[in-house]
């Protein structure tokens, strides 16, 4: 069976290329796995444009972008890395350009607008393209924002799919590889589309906080806090923002299971969040707001009561009181 092709256009704006490098960290499946397609149901993905890791060596590169802009490349998924600057703020110049037409630079935001109209789906890889990230840090000198804000929150692709955000600075390579592989199976009817939360993030990845996913969370519940870097307990007193950040990296690790910010003894800086790098995430070494812990304690007491009651109620039940 020869699967129908699904094209991918990867466009970089105000980016550092960290998301591309991180994508190369993905292992099962790896980038090579995705592109070579071992099982037919997931095969047929072609990376038609990517400045760093594109398949063809030849003349076809920017031509693929132009073909996609004209609607001649169909269907294609647009992956965006980097924030979108506000070119209206650049006066007679420009903030970010990709190629030129008739001697004038074509801005990244212009390319994005043209491609979004034709794309089957738009995936924002990393915090910059999801929410603006570092470039939109105060005072946001270039008016940078995420793709969802740029296109409008209610925007949907021609197939009716909203912008899918996979935040993380950089995006976790496996998050991106999994979502892309999942999307292919969904487009072909094998799986439902991934469920998204109100910030358009896949809930299976971003449904819990870094704190909930942290291997040190149990130590925190047991009252053990680190007071100096190097200690093996909860990092909350040293600035960790795990309780207010949505991320599974502490549990998952970063490259083939190795690493994980809080797991190794560092702090979570909230790099997946819309406000990053501003308050309440920066200053990074400042303790997270205490409010969260009050709610957690209330829940914790409820959980402890439940744990005790669920044990003794059976005894009571046995005695038929």
Partner 1 sequence: MVKKEVMIEPMTRLEGHLGIHAVADLEKGVYVDAHSFVVMFRGFEIILKGREPADAIWITQRICGVCPTPHAMASVQAVDMAYQAPPPPMGVLLRNFLHGAEQLYDAALGCLVLEGPDYSEAAVKKWNPDWWEKARKAKAPNAKLHGYKTIADIMRALNPLSGELWLRSLAVEKLGRKMASLLGGKHPHVVSMVPGGVAKTLTPTDLEQYAAMLAHHVAFAKEFIPVMDDLLDFVLSLGYDECGSRKVNLLSYGAYDDPEAYTANYEDMSNWGLKRAVSPGVVIDGELVTQDLIEINVGVREFIDRSYYEDWAGPSIAEDPAGNPLDAKHPWNKETKPKPGPYKAWDSKYSWAGSPRWEDWKKRVDGFAHSVEAGPIARMWVTAKAGNIPESTGSSLKFTLPKATVAGYKVADEMEFEWKIPERVNTVERVRARAYYYAYSAYVMYNQLLQALEMVKAGKAEVWRKYKKPKDGMGVGMTEAMRGALAHWVVMKGQRIQNYQVITPSGWNAGPRLSDADLGPYEDAIVGTPITEPTEGELSGIDVVRTIRSFDPCLACCVHLYQGDRCIREIPIC
Q: Contacts with partner 1 in 74-133 (CB under 8 A)?
A: 82-83, 85, 90-100, 102-105, 133
- Please state the closest distance from residue 150 (CB atom) to partner 1, in A: 16
- Please state the closest distance from residue 22 (CB atom) to partner 1, in A: 6
Question: Which position among 38, 55, 303, 309 is part of the footprint of partner 1 (CB under 8 A)?
Answer: 55
In sequence order, what DSSP letters do the residues of 108-133 get, joined into one string? HHHHHHHHHHH-SEEEEESHHHHH-T
- In whole angstroms, give the CA distance from residue 301 to residue 30: 43
If one asks whether residue 17 binds partner 1 (CB under 8 A), the answer comes out as yes
Residue whose CB is less far from partner 1, 83 or 112: 83
If one asks whether residue 238 binds partner 1 (CB under 8 A), the answer comes out as yes
Q: Which of residues 162-191 bind partner 1 (CB under 8 A)?
A: 169-170
DSSP state of 107: E
CB 166 within 8 A of CB 123: yes
Residue whose CB is less far from partner 1, 82 or 243: 82
- Please state the closest distance from residue 252 (CB atom) to partner 1, in A: 10
- Please state the closest distance from residue 18 (CB atom) to partner 1, in A: 2
Residue whose CB is less far from partner 1, 126 or 202: 126
The enclosing H or E element of 230 equals: none
- In whole angstroms, give the CA distance from residue 43 to residue 33: 9
If one asks whether residue 205 binds partner 1 (CB under 8 A), the answer comes out as no
Q: Which residues contact 299 (CB under 8 A, 6 or more apart)?
A: none
Select the span of 1-9, 134-142, 174-182, 201-209 touching partner 1 (CB under 8 A): 134-142
Structure tokens of 311? 């044990």
Question: How many residues contact partner 1, by CB under 8 A?
Answer: 90
Closest C-alpha to 205, from 243, 168, 236? 168
Q: Which of residues 257-276 bind partner 1 (CB under 8 A)?
A: 258-269, 271
Residue whose CB is less far from partner 1, 155 or 278: 278
- In whole angstroms, give the CA distance from residue 151 to residue 149: 6
- In whole angstroms, give the CA distance from residue 282 to residue 248: 20
Structure-token match 């005894």, residue found: 315
- Please state the closest distance from residue 16 (CB atom) to partner 1, in A: 4
If one asks whether residue 236 binds partner 1 (CB under 8 A), the answer comes out as no
If one asks whether residue 44 binds partner 1 (CB under 8 A), the answer comes out as no
Task: Give 86: exposed, middle or buried? Use CB within 10 Å, 0-12, 13-18, 19+.
Answer: middle
Task: Give 4: exposed, middle or buried? Use CB within 10 Å, 0-12, 13-18, 19+.
Answer: exposed
If one asks whether residue 280 binds partner 1 (CB under 8 A), the answer comes out as no
Question: Which position among 5, 61, 86, 158 is part of the footprint of partner 1 (CB under 8 A)?
Answer: 61
If one asks whether residue 59 binds partner 1 (CB under 8 A), the answer comes out as yes
Residue whose CB is less far from partner 1, 94 or 204: 94
């Amino acid at each position: 069976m020869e699967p129908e092709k699904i094209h991918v256009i990867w466009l970089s704006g105000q980016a550092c290329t960290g998301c591309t490098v991180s994508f190369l960290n993905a292992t099962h499946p790896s980038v090579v796995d995705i592109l070579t397609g071992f099982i037919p149901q997931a095969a047929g993905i072609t990376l038609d444009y990517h400045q760093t890791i594109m398949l063809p060596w030849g003349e076809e590169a920017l031509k693929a972008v132009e073909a996609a802009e004209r609607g001649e490349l169909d269907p294609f998924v647009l992956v965006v890395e980097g924030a979108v600057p506000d070119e209206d703020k650049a006066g007679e110049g420009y903030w970010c350009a990709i190629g030129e037409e008739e001697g004038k630079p074509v801005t990244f935001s212009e390319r994005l607008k043209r491609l979004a109209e034709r794309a089957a789906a738009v995936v924002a890889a990393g915090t910059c393209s999801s929410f603006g990230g570092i470039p939109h840090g105060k005072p946001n000198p270039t008016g940078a924002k995420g793709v969802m804000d740029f296109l409008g929150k209610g925007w949907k692709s021609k197939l009716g799919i909203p912008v899918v955000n996979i935040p993380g600075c950089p995006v976790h390579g496996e998050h991106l590889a999994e979502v892309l592989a999942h999307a292919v199976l969904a487009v072909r009817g094998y799986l439902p589309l991934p469920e998204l939360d109100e910030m358009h993030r896949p809930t299976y990845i971003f449904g819990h906080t870094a704190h909930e996913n942290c291997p040190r969370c149990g130590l925190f519940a047991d009252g053990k806090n680190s007071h100096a870097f190097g200690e093996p307990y909860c990092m909350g007193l040293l600035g960790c923002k795990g309780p207010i950040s949505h991320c599974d990296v502490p549990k998952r690790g970063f490259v083939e299971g190795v690493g994980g910010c809080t797991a190794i003894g560092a702090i979570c800086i909230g790099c997946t969040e819309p406000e990053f790098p501003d308050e309440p995430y920066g200053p990074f070494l400042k303790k997270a707001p205490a409010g969260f812990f009050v709610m957690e304690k209330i829940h914790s007491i409820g959980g402890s009561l439940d744990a005790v009651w669920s044990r003794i109620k059976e005894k009571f039940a046995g005695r038929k009181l």
